[in-house]
Structure 1
Amino acid sequence: MAVQPEGAPCWADAMFGDLDGAKRFYGEVLGWTFGETASEFGGYTQCYANGKAVAAVVPPMPGQEGQSQWCLYFASADAEATARRVREAGGEVVMEPMRVGDFGTMCLARDPGGVMFGIWQGGTHEGFEAMAEPGAYCWAEVYTREPGASDAFFPAVFPYTAKQMEEEGVDFRLFDLDDRTVLGRMAVTDDFPPAVRPYINVYFTVPDCDAAVARATELGGVLRFGPMGTPFGRFATLSDPQGADFSVIDITTTEGEMPKVTDVS
């Protein structure tokens, strides 16, 4: 794929205490195969859909053991400059920009509401080799209890314009790069369980949402929401057996009319 523009989602990975268990689960649910584990990079293991790199799984580093969580990375031409903008916008740089061999430079950060995300300045590894194909990344949404903070933060760090969805009872925002919508923002209200933490929910494409949900739950995953039909596709949100939340979506099965949006940039 072409190099992603500044601010576009470009990669996803997750730490798992049981790496073999994660490979079994996602291999069955998303059809992934796995590359060789790179011991020189902490056991980093790339995941492939139809031979294309779409994500990675890795064991936790010492002191980082805990609940697994997917991390979405945004493309940057200069990770140091992006990290500065994170701080200037009121966010936190959790891990300073770090060179990863010839692959690129990574950085981890949080927005003011506690949403963790990554920054990736590509080298030989430019990011996703496929998107919106079975097994590949498709979409992501920021879930936050501080929507105003996220709404100000992300366009200050990345060159986003924003649109607000006009749907009664739902506070949902869309962030665009030029004419392409690249990220959503959902306000976590009191209607959500207290356990829902600020995070970015990553969607992976599947050919059949219901079949993917059935397989995931057979393998110990937990259905959190759905399956539900939308104009964008039929989707469901799950937790894997190690607690990492993610969504699956069949973008070929759509239902209903597209929602109206208002430019709020």
Structure 2
Amino acid sequence: MPVRDSYPDGAPCWADLTTSDPAGAQAFYGPILGWEFHDNGPAYGGYTMCLRGGRPAAALMPPPPGAEQLPTMWNVYFSTSDLDGVYAKVANAGGKPVMGPHDIPGAGRMAFAFDPSGASFGLWQPAEHFGAAVIGEAGAMCWNELNTPDGETADAFYGELFAYTTRQIGDGKDFDYTEWRLPDAPDTPVCGRNRTADPQPVWSTYFGVAEADRAAAQVAELGGRVLRDPFDTPYGRMVVCTDSGGAALTFCQVP
């Protein structure tokens, strides 16, 4: 895949893992995704870039001081050219602003919020760092979806932020899944929303692998847990799992 150097407003552009054990996370993800790691140092709070072929694919970070009890989890960020404007819509649309817009020197501008059901998400306005330089390939983020018990509210909330159009998959009852698309690219989904019975909403991240069955074996070998044996889908063979620290994610076999 070519190097990615921009994202449209509303597209997931970055993911980072909050973990109290960055070294353990590196030992887990390095062999599975072929990542190398670069610690940005104390000035950036130990924020560590995950590199695939020398290009940024994702990041790892310890919980910030005072928030050491944060769960180990992947965080998803949406690209925007007007972070302040989008962040201002969060409360009006029924969400909860959490961490107001602030600058990351030499990188960009970020904010964090909760949607109406309580799922957390980030917003990113790029400067020098626009997001993942690799996407949709082995060793890179390849999909993001919101798992929530209230699909209708989620569709309305995120549609207020980014004017998504939606495409229903399934019957909307027993299987209620929507693809979210941007007005400038109505034929290309950028992320999805899955209605689940789980009362705890969360954004989930998918990473591409060359062989799903091999990835499943590595998960078990490296201290993670396979939650469902590899299975085939129209989008690739999947492995639903947790990493060695308990963070949920899905590996997807990509061409």
Fold match, TM over 0.5?
yes
Give the match for residue 245 of structure 2.
242
Kindly state the Cα deviation for residue 53 of structure 1 after the two structures are TM-superposed.
Answer: 0.4
4+ residue stretches of structure 1 with deviation over 6 A? none
Kindly state the Cα deviation for residue 188 of structure 1 after the two structures are TM-superposed.
Answer: 1.2
Residue of structure 2 aligned with 1:70, choices 43, 67, 74: 74
Relative to the length of structure 2, the TM-score reads: 0.93
Give the match for residue 118 of structure 1.
122
Kindly state the Cα deviation for residue 219 of structure 1 after the two structures are TM-superposed.
Answer: 1.0
1:139-189 Cα shifts (integer Å, max 9, x gaps): 011001121210110111013100111347211111012221011111112
Relative to the length of structure 1, the TM-score reads: 0.90
Residue of structure 2 aligned with 1:21, choices 5, 21, 24: 24
In 2, distance between residues paired with 1:251 and 1:159? 29
Kindly state the Cα deviation for residue 244 of structure 1 after the two structures are TM-superposed.
Answer: 0.8
Residue of structure 1 aligned with 2:190, choices 182, 189, 196: 182
Q: Give the letter for the 1:185 counterpart.
A: R
Residue of structure 2 aligned with 1:143, choices 147, 151, 173: 147
Residue of structure 2 aligned with 1:12, choices 1, 9, 15: 15
In 2, distance between residues paired with 1:180 and 1:163? 10
Greater Cα offset, 161-170 or 128-137: 161-170
In 1, distance between residues paired with 2:47 and 2:78? 19
The 8 Å contact of residues 138 and 254 in structure 2, kept in 1 or not, is answered as no
In 1, distance between residues paired with 2:27 and 2:5? 30
Q: Count the aligned residue pairs.
A: 247
* 1:151/1:226 CA distance change after superposition, 3 Å: farther
* 1:36/1:62 CA distance change after superposition, 3 Å: closer
Kindly state the Cα deviation for residue 247 of structure 1 after the two structures are TM-superposed.
Answer: 0.6
The 8 Å contact of residues 208 and 254 in structure 2, kept in 1 or not, is answered as yes
SS of the equivalent of 1:148 reads helix
Give the match for residue 96 of structure 2.
92
SS of the equivalent of 1:84 reads helix
Kindly state the Cα deviation for residue 15 of structure 1 after the two structures are TM-superposed.
Answer: 1.3
Give the match for residue 172 of structure 1.
177
The 8 Å contact of residues 6 and 159 in structure 1, kept in 2 or not, is answered as no
Give the match for residue 107 of structure 2.
103
**Which blocks of at least 5 consecutive residues in structure 2 are unaligned?**
none
Give the match for residue 59 of structure 1.
62
Is 1:228 the counterpart of 2:231 in the alignment?
yes
Kindly state the Cα deviation for residue 208 of structure 1 after the two structures are TM-superposed.
Answer: 0.3
**Which blocks of at least 5 consecutive residues in structure 1 are unaligned?**
253-265
